[in-house]
Chain A
Amino acid sequence: MTTTISAPPPVAAPRRRRRRPLRGRGLHLYTIVLVGWLLVPIAVMILFGFNDTHTKQNFEWEGFTLKWYVHLFDKKDLTTALINSLTIALLTTLIATVLGTLLGLAIGRHRFRGQGMANLVMFAAISCPEIVMGASLLSMFVATETPRGYLTILAAHVMFSVSFVAITVRARAVGIDPSVEEAARDLGAGPLTTFRLVTLPMIMPGVLSGALLAFALSVDDFIITNFTSGSTQTFPLWVWSSTRTGTPPQVNVMGTLIFAIGVLLAVINIVAARRRARHS
């Protein structure tokens, strides 16, 4: 349940502009309804993490308790699934951010043979329906007799995250004046130093946005993971399988915590982007 950060955080901070004040009762009502619509599911998730339920079902409010927070890691296989999800998401973020940044830079800054093809493949990976992608990956892994598990999940997650990172980085990279890098070279910086001191800091907002996006996409992916997981459990897979017997409140608590971390990261990114924007 990381719906709130599945939308990309702003790549460039919004400029401060003069806003026309909006008035009217209708608009107020509309705003409240819309915000409510977005927040109610999350509120329910958080609320039922505090539900003192005594059955296997967690549908009816039976009183407030903190015991699910205390006994958060009591269900060993759920904990394992969560750890799998988090480590896969972190590794995916790391690998996809490095690869996607390089790809985004290449497409955004240089002209080369096969550039159009690279662009096309990048968008194809995004626009391909997940269910089809998952099914194809499964048949590929079966055909090549690759044992499904942690590594195949990781490979699949990196594959679909790279494009998102590449696109956010590219958007940033095309806006950079190429002579800024030439200036660094002119002043004695070699290619590596130029990248470290000039290029990377300038594309950093795009890199960070891409990394957040990759994490968000990976940590709650169900469809592709379901096809490529073998016997490995991830958090979304475990939650899905638990719905038949009753989802324990720990799931709500974990969802709440993941959501909280996601919001925190998004806020940090926005604040950082604002600070940068003030300086440039």
Chain B
Amino acid sequence: MTETSHPPVRDDQETSGSALPAIELTGVMKEYHAHGEKVAAVRGIDLAIGQGEFFSLLGPSGCGKTTTMRMIAGFEEPTGGEVLLNGKPVTDVPANKRDVNMVFQSYALFPHMSVFENVAFGLRRKGVAKDEIRRRVAAMLDIVDLAGREKRRPGELSGGQQQRVALARALVNRPRALLLDEPLGALDLKLRQHMQVELKRIQREVGITFVYVTHDQSEALTMSDRIAVMNDGRIEQLGSPREIYERPASKFVAGFIGTSNLLAGEIGEVRDTEAFITYGGDGQIVVPLDGRTAAPGDRLELTVRPEKIEIATQPPGGNGAGSAGGGYSGSRVRAKVAEVVYLGTSTNYIVTTAAGDEVTVFLQNATNADDIAGRGDDVWLSWEPRHSYAIGAS
């Protein structure tokens, strides 16, 4: 068959150490026509994924992350912009000639073939010699811990094993990049957590670029070197897990990643690089401006992660409290406990602040034997200035 005689588009292995990104998207767009109307799934994405990087596309369903991945794989054609693999445009290269491989959400194993035949499929298409196929398949099955199951059919394997066959089937081809489309979605929690660690180990072992599509923020945070948070066909924020968690660029990111407390108030005073918000009568919130310009009277939105907040029955900074400008220089807010949820290793307090916002406080159960406060108790929340993070415009 003539199809196999064309080598896939790819440079020599030696270039893998170069500075060229493994995958680059420039202004990539995808519009569908449905019932005579244009529906935009991806609205212009610019992205460069480095060699050997574990990169995640994270977002809710319908945000365009899977479409983006399918355009990298070659199953969808962009309606605008360009996809580059190793610096070369591949927009016109069909999926079977692109040097990336994919792990499908449904695994998509060939049910009529044995595990060995499944894994050998890609190598056979490339015309690799029989001995080498046998050697490479055996080595790959070893990596995914499936040695000895070569003759089984996919139907005879457990979900976790099928998932690893799918992984081996893609990785054995030593692709430029491996694309994973919610590969752990069908597994139960325990297996999923186990596979997260496994995936990270395998990725380190083979040193191949992984592009990982998921809607599970904890999965993305656990495994990724970098994450692109997507919403409505666009990238909302691109950064390391820590950046995205600690410094969400938008309300959407703050809300989507982890639990986030969203507060807002009017700036009463700006001192040096910090804004002071008078909050709920005698409370105050200190927000670092990080180069933003703000003036007294502006409304500011900010987030605080629940584990950064201290909770106490006494106001912080001792007796002088009660008026803004007491001994404590951080944020302090009066609140009433609405709910206490005991979670074993931690306790969650859901409180209503004096200004009426709902705030979650997350407390490790390391030392405190008893609950600090019960439902209906008045408490003080406090956190350091650097844990307030201003979001939104300007």
| CB-based contact B122/A188 at 8 Å | yes
| CB-based contact B3/A190 at 8 Å | yes
- Chain A residue numbers with a CB within 8 Å of B153 are 279-280
- Asked if A143 is at the interface of the complex by the 8 Å CB criterion, the answer is no
Least CB separation from A181: chain B residue: B108
B66 to chain A, nearest CB (A): 11
Q: Which of B4, B108, B154 has most chain A Cβ within 10 Å?
A: B108
- Chain B residue numbers with a CB within 8 Å of A187 are 96, 101, 121-122, 125, 169-170, 173
| CB-based contact A177/B101 at 8 Å | no
Q: Given contacts A185-B94, A186-B101, are A280 and B106 in contact (CB under 8 A)?
A: no
| CB-based contact A279/B112 at 8 Å | yes
| CB-based contact B108/A190 at 8 Å | no
- Asked if B95 is at the interface of the complex by the 8 Å CB criterion, the answer is yes
| CB-based contact A183/B104 at 8 Å | yes
| CB-based contact A180/B102 at 8 Å | no
Q: Given contacts A186-B102, A190-B1, are A180 and B125 in contact (CB under 8 A)?
A: no
A180 to B105 CA separation, bound complex (whole angstroms): 11
Least CB separation from A186: chain B residue: B102
| CB-based contact B110/A198 at 8 Å | yes
- Asked if B177 is at the interface of the complex by the 8 Å CB criterion, the answer is no
A201 to B94 CA separation, bound complex (whole angstroms): 24
Task: Write the B107-141 contact mask toward A (1 if CB under 8 angstroms, else 0).
Answer: 01111100000000110011000000000000000
- Chain B residue numbers with a CB within 8 Å of A202 are 111-112
- Asked if B81 is at the interface of the complex by the 8 Å CB criterion, the answer is no
- Asked if B342 is at the interface of the complex by the 8 Å CB criterion, the answer is no
B212 to chain A, nearest CB (A): 16
| CB-based contact A182/B95 at 8 Å | yes
| CB-based contact B108/A179 at 8 Å | yes
- Asked if A27 is at the interface of the complex by the 8 Å CB criterion, the answer is no
A126 to chain B, nearest CB (A): 29
| CB-based contact B95/A179 at 8 Å | no
| CB-based contact A201/B125 at 8 Å | no
- Asked if B32 is at the interface of the complex by the 8 Å CB criterion, the answer is no
| CB-based contact B155/A180 at 8 Å | no
Q: Given contacts A183-B102, A279-B153, A280-B155, are A189 and B108 in contact (CB under 8 A)?
A: no
Least CB separation from B125: chain A residue: A188
- Asked if A135 is at the interface of the complex by the 8 Å CB criterion, the answer is no
The residue from A184, A193, A197, A279 contacting B155, defined by CB atoms under 8 A apart: A279
- Chain B residue numbers with a CB within 8 Å of A186 are 73-75, 95-96, 101-102, 170
- Chain A residue numbers with a CB within 8 Å of B109 are 180, 183
- Asked if B8 is at the interface of the complex by the 8 Å CB criterion, the answer is yes
Least CB separation from B95: chain A residue: A185
A198 to B106 CA separation, bound complex (whole angstroms): 16
- Asked if A40 is at the interface of the complex by the 8 Å CB criterion, the answer is no
A175 to chain B, nearest CB (A): 11
A277 to B101 CA separation, bound complex (whole angstroms): 29
- Chain B residue numbers with a CB within 8 Å of A180 are 108-111
| CB-based contact A190/B96 at 8 Å | yes
Interface size on A, residues (CB 8 A): 22
- Asked if A192 is at the interface of the complex by the 8 Å CB criterion, the answer is yes
A162 to chain B, nearest CB (A): 26
- Chain B residue numbers with a CB within 8 Å of A177 are 106, 108
Q: Given contacts A180-B110, A182-B108, A280-B112, are A192 and B155 in contact (CB under 8 A)?
A: no
- Chain A residue numbers with a CB within 8 Å of B108 are 177, 179-180, 182-183
Least CB separation from B7: chain A residue: A188
| CB-based contact A193/B1 at 8 Å | yes
B70-105 at interface with A (beta carbon < 8 Å): 73-75, 94-97, 101-102, 104-105
Least CB separation from A180: chain B residue: B108
A202 to B1 CA separation, bound complex (whole angstroms): 21
A278 to B4 CA separation, bound complex (whole angstroms): 32
- Chain A residue numbers with a CB within 8 Å of B121 are 184, 187, 189, 197
A185 to B98 CA separation, bound complex (whole angstroms): 10
A44-75 at interface with B (beta carbon < 8 Å): none
A199 to B326 CA separation, bound complex (whole angstroms): 74
| CB-based contact B3/A192 at 8 Å | yes
B150 to chain A, nearest CB (A): 14
B102 to chain A, nearest CB (A): 5
A180 to chain B, nearest CB (A): 5
| CB-based contact B155/A189 at 8 Å | no
A109 to chain B, nearest CB (A): 15
- Chain B residue numbers with a CB within 8 Å of A280 are 111-112, 153-155
| CB-based contact A193/B3 at 8 Å | yes
11 A-B pairs within 8 Å (CB atoms) are namely A179-B105, A179-B108, A183-B102, A186-B95, A186-B101, A186-B102, A187-B96, A188-B96, A189-B125, A197-B110, A279-B111
Q: Which 4 A-B pairs have the closest CB atoms?
A: A190-B3, A188-B125, A187-B122, A183-B108
Binding site for B on A (CB under 8 A): 177, 179-180, 182-193, 197-198, 201-202, 276, 279-280
Given A190-B3, A190-B4, A279-B112, 9 additional A-B pairs, CB 8 A: A182-B102, A183-B102, A183-B104, A186-B75, A186-B101, A187-B170, A188-B122, A192-B3, A279-B111
